[in-house]
Amino acid sequence: MVALVNPASGSSDVLVIGGGLQGLSSAFQLAKAGLRVRLIEAEYCGRHASGVNAGGVRTLGRHVAEIPLALAAREQLWHRLADIIGSDGGFVPSGQLQVAENEADEIKAKARVAMLNGLGFFHEQWVDQQQVRELVPSISPHVVGGIWADRDGYALPYKVATAYRLAAEKLGVQIVEQAPVLQVDHQAGMWQASTAQGAFHAPWLVNTAGAWAADFAAQVGDPVPMVAGGLMLMVTQRVAPFVKPVLGAMGRPLSFKQFDNGTVLIGGGLRCEADASQRHAMVDLNRMPKSAQTVIDLFPHLRDVSIARAWTGIEGFMPDEIPVISPSASADNLVHAFGFSAHGFELSPMTGCIVAELVTKGTSSLPISAFRVDRFAAA
């Protein structure tokens, strides 16, 4: 079945660049399909976007092209994670609610739901003011309604990444850390990834290098206009439980949830400076007053709660805010999956399946044409 790799022999079927969740789930699914996989990670697995995000398991509010992937990820994977990788990753199906704070938000929300229904999607439901108060009794009375996705929720990013990692290793995936890939080359039917720790070879290459993936894409002839940026989050000190669902807001950026331990996580599109070459992003709390104000507007009683810490990681952002998930347009035996623009967490278990399908069968059973790597090329 699975040929266990002898590290000394260095023989693999697939090289996966990047030990974030996209890479880890890809490595796992490829190994499950019987391939010998080596994953190469620049720092340690889950160090950046995958380890520091808000953990939203969210189908709500997505670009239409992502919805089939998101729904499949939620139903086939997130709700069954323990069966698949031996851990539920801390997944709590708390539901996600995107609140409408005024009439303009309400109109927008209802239009969206109608549009989705028209496309055959019913996972987002309009809920009115009364229903919102039932879902979140402590929310400010000015909220007029919202969009509700009851099977969404949240999980713990680092726990999920680690669980995927352990599951992958159990299937024989070899993981090399502290090994930034400097260069990828394709010669005589073999891909070569060069690192300071040596060069690795395999017939197939998977580019899941997150904020650094565009460099590799360019090297292989698939340039994309991706930008590496920092994304900030903050967490408060513990407060007594007051909200169950994960919250967003229609009219302004917000990602907001309370963990079992009482701490409240606050985020929402908070960009900050990042130096991708130094692999470091800088927290600047001064960019967060609007998020803090949003939270206070929705929950006035939180005004005096202290922020314990803010943090950030580096993510890759695409101009159309949807990822690249596709075979290379110019080279053989290469699959890309990157550029998740700060909302790849929920998709990542399914990304791995799609990548494995592309490698083993050459096609994907989910629609991915919107995610082609060459969609930016001049027509």
Residues at the site binding another protein, with contacts judged by CB under 8 A: 44, 46, 51, 138, 158, 162, 235-240, 242, 261-262, 280, 282-286, 288-290, 292-293, 295-297, 299, 301-312
Q: How far is the CB of 74 from another protein (least distance, A)?
A: 24
Q: How far, in Å, are 221, 277, 301, 304, 350 from residue 26 at the CA level? A: 22, 25, 43, 43, 9
CB nearer to another protein: pick between 28 and 158: 158
Closer by beta carbon to another protein, 118 or else 289? 289
**Closest distance between another protein and the C-beta of residue 169, in Å?**
10
Least distance (Å) from another protein to the CB of residue 243? 10
Which residues sit opposite 96 in a β-bridge? 149, 246
Residues 159, 123: Cα–Cα separation, whole Å: 26
Contacts of 257-265 with CB under 8 Å at 24 or more apart are 257/54, 257/55, 257/56, 257/94, 257/154, 260/92, 262/238, 263/235, 263/236, 263/237, 263/238, 263/239, 263/308, 264/235, 264/236, 264/239, 264/295, 264/302, 264/305, 265/54, 265/55, 265/233, 265/234, 265/235
Q: In the bound complex, what is the minimum distance in angstroms from residue 334's beta carbon to another protein?
A: 29
Looking at beta carbons only, is 97 or 163 nearer to another protein? 163
Residue 182 CA to residue 194 CA, distance in Å, equals 6
Residue 352 Cβ, how far from another protein at the closest point, in Å? Answer: 21
Compute the least distance from the CB of residue 198 to another protein, in Å. Answer: 20
Q: Specify the residue, 136 or 205, whose C-beta has the smaller distance to another protein.
A: 136
Cβ at position 339, least distance to another protein in Å? 24
Amino acid at the residue 29: Q
Q: Distance between alpha carbon 298 and the CA centroid of its chain, in Å? A: 26
- Minimum CB separation of residue 15 from another protein in Å reads 21
- 143 versus 149: smaller Cβ distance to another protein: 143
Tell the residue number behind the tokens 């005024």, with chain if given. Answer: 102
Starting at the edge strand found earlier in the chain, the sheet holding 181-187 runs 181-187, 190-195, 198-202
Residue among 54, 31, 13, 19 nearest 231 (CA)? 54
Q: Rounded to the nearest 5 degrees, what angle is found at the Cα of 290, between the Cα atoms of 285 and 296?
A: 105
The type of residue at 371 is: F
- Using a 10 angstrom Cβ sphere, with 0-12 exposed, 13-18 middle and 19 or more buried, the burial of residue 340 is buried
Please state the φ and ψ torsions of residue 88, each to the nearest 5 degrees. -85, 0
Q: How far is the CB of 272 from another protein (least distance, A)?
A: 11
CB of 150 to another protein, least distance (A): 24
CB nearer to another protein: give 64 or 104: 104
Complex with another protein: residue 111 or 308, whichever CB lies closer: 308
Q: Which is nearer to another protein, 120 or 289 (CB)?
A: 289
Distance CA 22, CA 168 (A): 13
Please, which residue, 275 or 332, has the CB nearer to another protein? 275
Q: How far is CA 86 from the centre of its chain?
A: 20
102 or 369, CB closer to another protein? 102
Tell how far CA 377 is from the center of its chain: 25
